[in-house]
Chains A and B, each alone.
Chain A
Amino acid sequence: MRANTWAGRNKVEVREVPDPKILNKRDAIVRITSTAICGSDLHLVDGYVPTMQDGDIMGHEFMGEVIEVGSGVPADRLRVGDRVVVPFPIACGACAACAAEMYSCCENTNPNAGIAEKMFGHPVAGIFGYSHLTGGFAGGQAQYARVPFADVGPLKIESDLTDEQVLFLSDILPTGYMGAEMCDIQPSDVVAVWGAGPVGQFAMDSARVLGAAKVIAIDKEPYRLRMAEQAGHIPVNFDEVDVRSRLLELTGGRGPDKCIDAVGMEATHGSAHIAAYDRIKQAVRSETERPHALRQAIMSCRSGGVVSVIGVYGGFLDKFPAGAWMNRSLTLRTGQCHVQRYMKPLLQRIERGELDPTRIITHTLPLDEAERGFDIFKNKQDNCEKVVLKP
């Protein structure tokens, strides 16, 4: 089959690789009809997430048709011919984390748990196409994929919704939603979202659906801010205005009640000096993160507010504003999305028309043009927000 593979730092390559086969009895094989490039794929391509190997198949957002199931998958759960969206964390459904619906912390699905434990203290779930640190699972930017624990993760789509309407249930829609849900939004809340990329856009839409009074989008790309504005959110361009001043102005001096960091480790900053400092530290590997958005969210949030972190961090950061966090009674909440927990309720919201995931798709390309897709997405060419690939 054809698959998009990691071919070294800043290089992906579509190659011919073997077709996947059933390895475990609870596996299914899915013929992929749509897959996407995620912002967190860029951390792999940029080389910030360790343990990638030449030839690793990329991609953790995908959906398609089941063409084979292992003997351990009950027929009432999944059959050949079912149309499914596959969640990015691989979860066993049986451990204590899964029992608590914390699927991205599954204790069993990372065969390389020993490596992850060194990096994170405790291991996390296996993730499709996301380094050997998270299991060494082949990803979904391919014609076919093996899906372990297929009786637990995949969501069957039984209505006639298009791929584009449901594909993002695999990751970015639940991720954005969880970012808003962790904020415990009240009707009077002003919610500020750092990052107007795909996850940020969905966090904003979710904050509105959950009842926020006002939603603010912080980014520097005019086209992304326009996209947020068209969806009814208030744009703030950090290249043009001082974010703190603007946020105080928009909130009567209080600061946003709830702040969502939808940026993560490769943030850019309006101040050239701070940006340069962190970039250099990151380049010489003396810090793994550029936590501008997180710092600014903590400093800006009103006293007693919630800072919700869904941007991806990989290692260690410095200059964490612990004083602001502690002295002003802030709550910090975070997590890789527990996708399985949100898929069904969010599918219902899509069916009811409360959320329109298709609004962020700017590019649809054949799988064979994955390399070009990564290039335009990474470099924000051609007003690129989200790339969908068709195998």
Chain B
Amino acid sequence: MELTATTTVRRSPPEVYGYWRDLENLPTFMAHLEQVRGTGDRTSHWVAGAPFGKDVEWDAEIVEEVPGERIAWRSTGNADVPNAGTVRFLPAPDGVSTEVHVALTYDIPGGTIGKAVAKYFGEEPHQQLDDDLRRFKQVLETGEVVRSDGAPWGKRARKEFPQRPAQPLSDDELAKGADA
């Protein structure tokens, strides 16, 4: 499966590139990622949780890197869901902003995990990626993921619809945090 998405962020290409290149930042705005941990200069370990009900893990390596312009990566070893991606950072015509172009490829396997992944991506894959990029833009432009009362766990795409009512959270809900 191939997915592409794009957004424009009102920050310079070096800033936008720098935030993405620190791969440990990715779960801040990528809804399905639980954790990305750097294991070397160009290698990392990725854990995706929701909405599978069970974690999916893989190692990845950066295969191409042009500072301020481009990062490409792919999963390595025996990944549950082999995947690869490229993100390009282009100066926008306004001279202030950066166009971010993302292309992802997933190799959806058979078996239980394959079914779960297929179902997950079968629902709204582009929506997922678009929403990830919206949060990326929010974090870079405003310093935070925007949270409303109806969608208090901004990071959790699976919580976006249906939502809780637009009224303040109870203490119980607040204590449960993102799992509420």
- On whether the beta carbons of B150 and A56 are closer than 8 Å, the reply is yes
Residue contact A136 to B138, C-beta cutoff 8 Å:
no
Q: Counting CB contacts under 8 A, is B166 at the interface?
A: yes
B88 within 8 A of partner (CB) = no
Instruction: List A contacts of B143 (CB < 8 A).
Output: 25-26, 72
Stretch of B19-27, B64-72, B79-87, B167-175 at the chain-chain interface: B167-175
CB contacts (< 8 Å) of A137 on chain B: these are 148-150, 166
Query: Of the 9-residue stretches A13-21, A168-176, A351-359, A374-382, which lies at the interface with chain B?
Result: A13-21
In the complex, are the beta carbons of B148 and A57 less than 8 A apart?
no
Most buried by A among B165, B167, B169: B167
A111 near B154 (CB under 8 angstroms)?
yes
Binds B, one of A91-99, A156-164, A236-244, A329-337: A91-99
Across-interface contacts of A129 in B (CB, < 8 A): 166
A137 to B163, CA, bound (A): 11
Interfacial chain A residues near B174, Cβ < 8 Å: 21
The reply to whether A18 and B147 form a contact with Cβ atoms under 8 Å apart is no
Do B149 and A136 touch across chains, with their CB atoms under 8 A apart?
A: yes
Within 8 A of A (CB), among B62-108: 94, 97
B8 touches A56 (CB 8 A): no
Given contacts A53-B163, A94-B142, whether A108 and B149 have CB atoms under 8 Å apart is no
Interface of A, helix, strand, loop or mixed by DSSP = loop
B57 is an interface residue with CB less than 8 A from chain A: no
Complex Cα–Cα for A57 and B168 (A): 9
- Identify the closest chain B residue to A115 (Cβ): B161
Chain B interface helix/strand/loop/mixed: loop
Contact of B160 among A25, A72, A114, A146 (CB under 8 A): A114
Cβ-defined contact, B169 with A136, below 8 A: no
* Complex: A99 Cα to B9 Cα, angstroms: 13
Compute how far the CA of A44 lies from the CA of B53 in the bound complex, rounded to whole angstroms. 36
CB-based contact A132/B170 at 8 Å: no
Inter-subunit contact B142/A149 (CB<8 Å)? yes
Binds A, one of B32-40, B42-50, B111-119, B126-134: B126-134
Asked whether A95 lies within 8 Å of B146 as measured between CB atoms, the reply is no
A296 at the binding interface (Cβ < 8 Å): no
Closest chain B residue to A1 by CB distance? Answer: B168
Task: Give the number of chain B interface residues (Cβ < 8 Å).
Answer: 35
> When chains A and B are docked, how far (Å) is the Cα of A117 from the Cα of B161?
14
Say yes or no: is A308 at the interface (Cβ < 8 Å to chain B): no
Task: Give the residues from 18 to 56 in chain A that come closer than 8 angstroms, CB to CB, to chain B.
Answer: 18-21, 23-26, 53-56
Once the chains are docked, how many angstroms separate the CA of A9 from the CA of B169?
24
Q: Is A107 within 8 A of B150, CB to CB?
A: no
Q: Does A112 contact B (CB under 8 A)?
A: yes
Task: Please give the distance in Å from A313's CB to the nearest CB on chain B.
Answer: 22
Contacts known (A26-B144, A99-B10, A126-B148); A108 close to B166, Cβ less than 8 A: no
The listed residue (B137, B150, B154) touching A53 by CB distance below 8 A is B150
Given A96-B10, A135-B150, A18 contacting B167 (CB threshold 8 A):
yes
Question: Do A54 and B94 touch across chains, with their CB atoms under 8 A apart?
Answer: no
- Given the interface pairs A3-B167, A21-B174, A138-B166, the reply to whether A94 lies near B147 with Cβ below 8 Å is no
| A107-123, CB < 8 A from B | 107-115, 117
Known interface pairs A23-B147, A136-B148. Does A114 touch B165 (Cβ–Cβ under 8 Å)?
no
Judged by a CB distance under 8 angstroms, whether B13 is at the interface is: no
**Contact in complex: B10, A95 (CB < 8 Å):** yes
Q: Inside 8 A of A139's CB, which chain B residues have their CB?
A: 166
Any A CB within 8 A of the CB of B55: no
Residues from chain A with Cβ under 8 Å of B10 in the complex: 94-96, 99
The residues of A that contact B154 with a CB separation of less than 8 Å are: 111
A107 touches which one: B94, B137, B152 (CB < 8 A)? Answer: B137
User: Does A300 have its Cβ within 8 Å of any Cβ on chain B?
Assistant: no
Q: Are B144 and A55 in contact (CB under 8 A)?
A: no
Query: A18 and B151: CB pair below 8 A?
Result: no
Q: Which residues of A contact B2 (CB under 8 A)?
A: none
| Identity of the chain B residue whose Cβ is nearest the Cβ of A123 in the assembled complex | B134
Nearest residue (CB) in A for B174 is A21
Q: Are A132 and B150 interface neighbours, CB within 8 A?
A: yes
Min CB distance, A121 to chain B, in Å? 13
Chain A residues within 8 Å of B, Cβ to Cβ: 3, 5, 17-21, 23-26, 53-57, 72, 92-96, 99, 107-115, 117, 126, 129, 132, 135-139, 146, 148-149
Chain B residues at the A interface, C-beta cutoff of 8 Å? 8, 10, 94, 97, 127, 130-131, 134, 137-138, 141-144, 146-152, 154, 160-171, 174
A18-B168, A113-B131, A136-B150 known; 9 new pairs, CB 8 Å cut-off, are A20-B168, A24-B146, A24-B147, A94-B10, A96-B94, A114-B131, A115-B161, A136-B149, A137-B148
Can you offer 15 A-B residue contacts whose CB atoms are under 8 A? A3-B167, A18-B169, A23-B152, A55-B166, A92-B142, A92-B146, A108-B146, A111-B151, A111-B160, A112-B151, A115-B161, A132-B163, A135-B150, A136-B163, A137-B166
